[in-house]
């Protein structure tokens, strides 16, 4: 019998790559997706990977406990990956309550549905390095104290601790992956890497002249989504549930990440980049740098794709997309 997985957030970047990985491993993959009038475009990422017909989509919303309970009754998954969230940090100041409901309380809804209907299912929570915020140690690990700096990070911290609490209170096999930034050609256009690679492709093709950014001194530990979804799956294959940092151990400024993209396209960054104060955030996470040692020691996870390889892949994908 094939194992069954239920993935919330299947229409997002990680949902698509995780679904692909699970299908390759022989899983029956079910995905929760919000019903919308644009359902045809909603599956674009799954289509990009050519797997939209292999995934079984169920209508559902993280805010709707009864729907989640029904889905859990119908699917009876062996593994549940909770990737759904309002995931854009900047929007979380504009929509703090919605972010709290979806990104925070939504975790309670999924955990409750698991506890009530399939308590032996293994559960993965998509926690975030954003929870470290105003960093308390130069390199962040599972033992570094948190200091969230956005409504999004506060909501993620709630979900993180609730996952630990359900593991300790009810014995659920619930793990939390503290993932540092990870990107790919399927990254949403509002996130900085994809905003940059899309702009570079447009400038190269003569469709645009400038790129407007906010704080380019911010530093991030960037990896590739494909490497990171593999870590999610590996976590759930462990006998004992636990929490793990997933990162590359290298941090780079937004400015230097941009240079990789501009250089690849043979463009000079100084001819096109404009700093726009409107794009600065009310509170910034200046630097993130993760220590993935625990994941390496416990289950041998290591990233395979470098930042340079990833940015080049993204620029090429955007050139292809825009040339069509
Ligand atoms: P993403 O591309 O923004 O995908 C978010 C997903 O959540 C989408 O499928 C979205 O559906 C869904 N969603 C939003 N609101 C929902 C709701 N009310 N009910 C059900 N689904 C809802 O994010 P991602 O980059 O794949 O990240 C996956 C998860 O990892 C997120 O929880 C994110 O916060 C977390 N994370 C990401 C990173 C990173 O660097 N990528 C790092 C750490 C943690 P629609 O398509 O309908 O909007
Ligand atoms: N998006 C964006 N747009 N970011 C910009 C811009 C811009 O025009 N200019 C500068 N930045 C800076 C931001 O201020 C931030 O310091 C950095 O680029 C990265 O921003 P994002 O790509 O939006 O990612 P994030 O770090 O805020 O959040 C992502 O990573 C988290 C993990 O640390 C998201 O994927 C979160 O969902 C995730 O939890």
**193 and 73 in one domain?**
no
Residue 71 in contact with ligand 2 by CB distance below 6 A: no
Residue 263's domain spans which residues? 188-220+250-287+305-323
| 239 assigned to some structural domain | yes
Could you tell me the two tokens for 217? 């001194």
pLDDT (tens digit per residue) in 129-175: 999 999 999 999 999 999 999 999 999 999 999 999 999 999 999 99
Task: Write down the pLDDT at residue 37.
Answer: 85
Atom index in ligand 1 nearest the CA of residue 156 equals: 34
**45 and 170 in one domain?**
yes
Question: 102 C-alpha vs ligand 1 centroid, how far in Å?
Answer: 10
Of all helices (H) and strands (E), which one includes residue 41?
helix 39-42
Question: Under 8 Å CB-to-CB from 248, ≥6 apart: which residues?
Answer: 180, 221, 222, 223, 290, 292, 303, 307
Q: Specify the residue with its C-alpha closest to ligand 1, atom 38.
A: 181
pLDDT (tens digit per residue) in 73-106: 999 999 999 999 999 999 999 999 999 999 999 9
Kindly state the percentage of the chain with pLDDT values over 70.
Answer: 100
Ligand nearest to the CA of 131: 2
DSSP 140-156: B-TTSPP---SHHHHHH
| 300 assigned to some structural domain | no
Task: Write down the pLDDT at residue 312.
Answer: 98
**207 and 152 in one domain?**
no
Task: Write down the pLDDT at residue 289.
Answer: 98
**214 and 108 in one domain?**
no
**145 and 241 in one domain?**
yes
Residue list, ligand 1 pocket, CB within 6 Å: 8-9, 11-15, 34, 42, 61-63, 83-87, 102, 126, 128, 179, 181-182, 188
- How far apart CA 260 and CA 249 sit, in angstroms, is 19
| 295 assigned to some structural domain | no
pLDDT at 324 over 90: no
pLDDT (tens digit per residue) in 163-206: 999 999 999 999 999 999 999 999 999 999 999 999 999 999 99
Nearest to 107 by CA among 8, 229, 178: 8
Are 27 and 52 within 8 A, CB to CB?
no
């Amino acid at each position: 019998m094939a194992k069954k997985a239920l993935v919330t957030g299947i229409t997002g970047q990680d949902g698509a790559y995780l679904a692909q990985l699970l299908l390759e491993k022989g899983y029956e993959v079910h995905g929760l997706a919000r019903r919308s009038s644009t359902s045809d475009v909603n599956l674009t990422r799954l289509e990009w990977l050519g797997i939209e017909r292999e995934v079984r989509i169920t209508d559902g919303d993280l805010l709707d406990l009864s729907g989640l309970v029904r889905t859990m009754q119908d699917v009876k998954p062996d593994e549940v990956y909770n990737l759904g969230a309002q995931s854009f940090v900047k929007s979380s100041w504009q929509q703090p309550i919605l972010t709290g409901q979806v990104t925070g309380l939504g975790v309670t809804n999924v955990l409750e549905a698991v506890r009530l209907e399939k308590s032996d299912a293994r559960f993965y929570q998509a926690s975030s390095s954003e929870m470290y915020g105003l960093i308390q140690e130069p390199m962040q690990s599972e033992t570094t104290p948190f200091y969230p700096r956005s409504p999004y990070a506060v909501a993620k911290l709630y979900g993180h601790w609730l996952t630990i609490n359900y593991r300790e209170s009810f014995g659920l096999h619930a793990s939390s992956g503290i993932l540092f930034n990870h990107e790919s050609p399927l990254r949403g256009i509002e996130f900085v890497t994809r905003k940059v690679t899309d702009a570079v492709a447009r400038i190269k093709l003569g469709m645009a002249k400038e790129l407007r950014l906010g704080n380019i001194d911010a530093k991030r530990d960037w990896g590739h989504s494909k490497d990171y979804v593999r870590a999610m799956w590996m976590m759930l294959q462990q006998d004992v549930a636990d929490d793990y940092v997933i990162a590359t151990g290298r941090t780079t400024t937004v400015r230097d990440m941009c240079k990789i993209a501009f250089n690849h396209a043979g463009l000079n960054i100084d001819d096109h980049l404009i700093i726009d104060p409107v794009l600065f955030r009310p509170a910034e996470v200046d630097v993130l740098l993760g220590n993935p040692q625990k994941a390496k020691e416990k289950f041998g996870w290591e990233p395979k794709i470098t930042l340079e390889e990833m940015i080049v892949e993204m620029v090429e994908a955007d050139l292809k997309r825009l040339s069509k």
